Structures are given as structure tokens and as C-alpha cells.
């Protein structure tokens, strides 16, 4: 039996439609729209692409965006000043500092300087700390992890009481998604590069979240029959037949896994579109909190 494909692109489009309706209502009621500030340091092509996609998505739902494209050699003090000015800016409800920052910048200090009420990426240590504690709701939850849970919810997947396995423990994906699953009462195992007997542990998962950044590492025979698979991985692999000379694959061997799983996200078109939809959602929620 072939798995149900969890169509992240379609689900994200639905969410963007919901957000647009709420932004329009805010505009009518308060003559105001949410605002997102993007802070891009340097000229990394991938970072420029991500920021461009985020600004385009804002425009499509009526969220205002404020761009700050800064030179790669900006000082720590000057970057801090940009963040502080945005904290005080009344039309900015969310501040997104595109990572990674150059090596000479202390990333933790910059992320900690973002106002808690504008931390739409959810990376402020206090928001992450609250996410990790019982009965302490963070103001914002990181976008990719939040998108994974939204995909499960909107696909009707029960989380409570199920065995969940998360592959990866990074600050931006693995750890926060694990915390979210725990809050939803899954029984949780977190795996990483030193985990022994990985296939055996993965085989216990009713819900598998793969976020390791290793192309097609998870094989079909690692998957428990009927499991739900959320593949966060985005890996470029050489493909001379593709127009760009490469194609994107996930951390899961999709063709094998879909024959065993009950539901699975594709790459691309699974988790990726949800990340941006959740950023828009967080920005709108921040604006609503300020207005209400």
C-alpha cells in the first residue's frame, strides 16, 4: 500500500489564505497591518534567496516588510543598534535575523537582543527555555518545528500517546520539534550522530521526524509499517538531468518509505513551504498581541 502524501504546499497555501483574511480584517478594524523586519548580513546567496522568499510571502498576504541589508563586515555594536532600533519601531511586529551570521558576530548576543515580543523566529533563549519547560508557554515557537506539528494536525494524525522519534537535536529544528511533541504527550526518543542502533530505534516510531541533513539516510526498512513520516531534510544532490545540475532530496529514501508508511511528506513540497507560512503566522500573532 502506498502512503498518503502530506501536501505541505497545499496546506501552506490554505494557511496563507487564512492569514490574509485576518490581515485584511486587521486593516479594516485598526487601519494597520502587521510588519516584519528582515535583517540580512553579508551576501550569501542562499540567505538572500530565503529573505527574498519571506518578503514575497509577506507581500502576498498584506504584511508590510522592512529590509535591512547590511555589509558582511558590520560590527557587533552596529548590528546590535539595528536590532535595538527595530525593537523600538512601532510598525515592526517581528524581527527576523537571517542565520547564519558571519563568524565575527556573536550570534547569541544578537538573538538575545531581539525583544521577546518581536521574536518571530522563536530563537530567543527565553522563548526556547519556556518551550523546554512544563506549563511555560513561549511567546513564539520556531517556524519549522511549528510547521511539522501543523502538518500532523491538519492531516488528522493523533500525537498523544504515540511513540515519536526525532532524528537530530539542533537548536532550530530537532530540539524544538521534540519539545513540541512532548508537550503534546507523545512518548519521545531523540537521536543524533552518536546514537547506536539507529534503524532499530527508528522502527519503533509511530511518528518519525527526520532532521539530520543526510540525503536519503533513512531507508524503507527502517520504517514501522503504518508510521507517519515528516521529512525536514533539504539536501542538494548532483543530477546532470536536472536543469540546475542538482535536485533536492530529503533525509528519507522517499520511494522506499512511501511503500511502508501510512503518510509521508515529500521533498520539496512538504515541510519547506510550512516554514514560511509559520513565520507569517507568528508575525500576525505578534501584531494581534500588540493591538489587543
Per CB under 6 A, residues contacting ligand NDP are: 144, 167-170, 172-174, 191-195, 198, 211-214, 232-235, 271-272, 275
How many Å apart are CA 209 and CA 128, to the nearest integer? 19
User: Among the options 7, 119, 121, 231, which is catalytic?
Assistant: 121
The three grid cell numbers given for residue 44, joined into one nine-digit string: 550569501
Q: Which helix (H) or strand (E) holds 96?
A: strand 94-97
Nearer to ligand NDP, 33 or 165 (CB): 165
The smaller minimum CB distance to ligand NDP, of residues 26 and 151, is found at 151
State which H helix or E strand residue 215 sits in.
none
The number of angstroms, rounded, from the C-alpha of 92 to the middle of its chain's C-alpha atoms is: 21
Taking the complex as a whole, the smallest distance from the CB of residue 134 to ligand NDP amounts, in Å, to: 23
Choosing from 7, 98, 206, 231, the catalytic residue is 98
Q: Which three cell numbers stand for residue 6?
A: 502530506
- Cβ at position 170, least distance to ligand NDP in Å: 3
Residue 196 CB, shortest distance to ligand NDP, in Å, is: 10
Query: Which uninterrupted H or E stretch holds 66?
Result: strand 64-70
Q: Which is nearer to ligand NDP, 84 or 193 (CB)?
A: 193
Pairing of strands 35-41, 263-264: unpaired
Annotated active-site residue 121? The verdict is yes
Q: What is the grid cell recorded at 291? A: 493591538
Instruction: Decide whether 159 or 202 has the Cβ nearer to ligand NDP.
Output: 202
Q: Which three cell numbers stand for residue 124?
A: 530567543
Q: How far is the CB of 221 from ligand NDP (least distance, A)?
A: 16
Q: Which positions are annotated as active-site residues?
A: 54, 98, 121
Amino acid at each position: 500500500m502506498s502512503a498518503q502524501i502530506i501536501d505541505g504546499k497545499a496546506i501552506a497555501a490554505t494557511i496563507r489564505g487564512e492569514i490574509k483574511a485576518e490581515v485584511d480584517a486587521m486593516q479594516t478594524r485598526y487601519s494597520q497591518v502587521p510588519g516584519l523586519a528582515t535583517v540580512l548580513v553579508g551576501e550569501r546567496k542562499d540567505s538572500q534567496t530565503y529573505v527574498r522568499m519571506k518578503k514575497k510571502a509577506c507581500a502576498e498576504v498584506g504584511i508590510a516588510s522592512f529590509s535591512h541589508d547590511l555589509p558582511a563586515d558590520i560590527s557587533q555594536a552596529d548590528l546590535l543598534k539595528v536590532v535595538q532600533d527595530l525593537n523600538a519601531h512601532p510598525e515592526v511586529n517581528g524581527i527576523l535575523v537571517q542565520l547564519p551570521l558571519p563568524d565575527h558576530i556573536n550570534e547569541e548576543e544578537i538573538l538575545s537582543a531581539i525583544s521577546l515580543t518581536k521574536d518571530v523566529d522563536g530563537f530567543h533563549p527565553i522563548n526556547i527555555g519556556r518551550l523546554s519547560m512544563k506549563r511555560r508557554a513561549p511567546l513564539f515557537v520556531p517556524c519549522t518545528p511549528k510547521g511539522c506539528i501543523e502538518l500532523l494536525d491538519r492531516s488528522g494524525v493523533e500525537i498523544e500517546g504515540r511513540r515519536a522519534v526525532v532524528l537530530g537535536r539542533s537548536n532550530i529544528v530537532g530540539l524544538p520539534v521534540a519539545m513540541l511533541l512532548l508537550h503534546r504527550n507523545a512518548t519521545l526518543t531523540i537521536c543524533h550522530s552518536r546514537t547506536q542502533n539507529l534503524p532499530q530505534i527508528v522502527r519503533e516510531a509511530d511518528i518519525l521526524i527526520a532532521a539530520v541533513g543526510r540525503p536519503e539516510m533513512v531507508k524503507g526498512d527502517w520504517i514501522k509499517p503504518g508510521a507517519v513520516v515528516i521529512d525536514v531534510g533539504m539536501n542538494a544532490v548532483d543530477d546532470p538531468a536536472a536543469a540546475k545540475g542538482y535536485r533536492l532530496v530529503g533525509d528519507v529514501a522517499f520511494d522506499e518509505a512511501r511503500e511502508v508508511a501510512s503518510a509521508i511528506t515529500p521533498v520539496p513540497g512538504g515541510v519547506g513551504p510550512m516554514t514560511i507560512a509559520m513565520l507569517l503566522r507568528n508575525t500576525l500573532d505578534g501584531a494581534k498581541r500588540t493591538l489587543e
